[in-house]
Chains A and B, each alone.
Chain A
Amino acid sequence: AQTVTQSQPEMSVQEAETVTLSCTYDTSENNYYLFWYKQPPSRQMILVIRQEAYKQQNATENRFSVNFQKAAKSFSLKISDSQLGDTAMYFCAFMRGGSNYKLTFGKGTLLTVNP
């Protein structure tokens, strides 16, 4: 079974600074997908970024980028130029390739952006 670990329950960052959220996972699969979801106080789950394991290039979406280290089974999220609206719970999630039905989530990291 796959497991996803987020070792930082809470983090804080000053507005306009950069912050990195950590995620590690355990799997014996070679084909899989990784996701970061954001859950603001509104409770809505919002996709931030996704990464295909077969791609060596790290995914980027505007101020959000990942550092995907396949050998180390690490998938960290970097948020540049942090904004107050980035305050949220962030969840890392794993999906085995060939199966679109099961997302395995980490326990989340609560990020607070301070003015």
Chain B
Amino acid sequence: NAGVTQTPKFQVLKTGQSMTLQCAQDMNHNSMYWYRQDPGMGLRLIYYSASEGTTDKGEVPNGYNASRLNKREFSLRLESAAPSQTSVYFCASSALSGRGFGDTQYFGPGTRLTVL
């Protein structure tokens, strides 16, 4: 099993450009998440999907939109990229849906995004 995969691994954008980060998991997990990691900080939740067909905002959703395409795939879109969105983006998944019980989250390898 590949676990959680993310594409692309690296991306450079100019201010104002748009792009979509892709995430897929092959563990038949119900919940999926998008985090960003900035220097000197831990990961912060951008969006999550507790189950197929649902999407909710996390701690830092401004400037992003997320789509749960199907059970396997969860994408994150930047409509008009800004330098403040330069970060490393991680996708994660966990088995349970909705209000689980401390369900462990498994992470992808990350996407390093630079916005000039």
Question: Please, what's the 1-or-0 string for A32-53, where 1 marks a CB less than 8 Å from any CB in chain B?
Answer: 1101010000111111001010
Known: A4-B42, A45-B90. A100 touches B109 (CB 8 A): no
Q: Kindly state the separation between the CA atoms of A50 and B105 in the bound complex, as whole angstroms.
A: 11
- Contact call B96/A93, Cβ cutoff below 8 A: no
The answer to whether B41 has its CB under 8 Å from any CB of chain A is yes
Known: A99-B99, A100-B94, A101-B33. A108 touches B104 (CB 8 A): no
The answer to whether A115 has its CB under 8 Å from any CB of chain B is no
- Contact call B96/A103, Cβ cutoff below 8 A: no
- Contact call B42/A108, Cβ cutoff below 8 A: yes
Of the four ranges (under 10, 10 to 19, 20 to 34, 35 or more), the interface on chain B belongs to 20 to 34
Known: A42-B109, A43-B88, A44-B109. A100 touches B43 (CB 8 A): no
- Contact call A103/B90, Cβ cutoff below 8 A: no
Smallest CB gap from B88: residue in A:
A43
- Contact call A35/B104, Cβ cutoff below 8 A: yes
The answer to whether B82 has its CB under 8 Å from any CB of chain A is no
Contact residues, B73-105 vs A (CB, 8 A): 88, 90, 92, 94, 96, 98-105
Question: Please, what's the 1-or-0 string for A93-108, where 1 marks a CB less than 8 Å from any CB in chain B?
Answer: 1010111111111111
Residues of A with C-beta under 8 A to B58? 101-102
Q: Is the interface of B mostly helix, strand, loop or mixed?
A: loop
The answer to whether B45 has its CB under 8 Å from any CB of chain A is yes
- Contact call B41/A107, Cβ cutoff below 8 A: yes
- Contact call A47/B99, Cβ cutoff below 8 A: no
Residues of A with C-beta under 8 A to B40? 107
Q: Kindly state the separation between the CA atoms of A35 and B59 in the bound complex, as whole angstroms.
A: 19
Contact residues, A23-82 vs B (CB, 8 A): 32-33, 35, 37, 42-47, 50, 52
Q: Kindly state the separation between the CA atoms of A106 and B41 in the bound complex, as whole angstroms.
A: 7
Residues of A with C-beta under 8 A to B90? 45
Max chain A Cβ within 10 angstroms of own Cβ: one of B41, B42, B59: B42
| B interface, CB within 8 angstroms of A | 31, 33, 40-45, 48, 50, 56, 58-59, 88, 90, 92, 94, 96, 98-107, 109-110, 112
Query: Other CB < 8 Å A-B pairs besides A42-B109, A100-B99, 5 of them?
Result: A35-B104, A45-B90, A91-B42, A97-B101, A101-B58
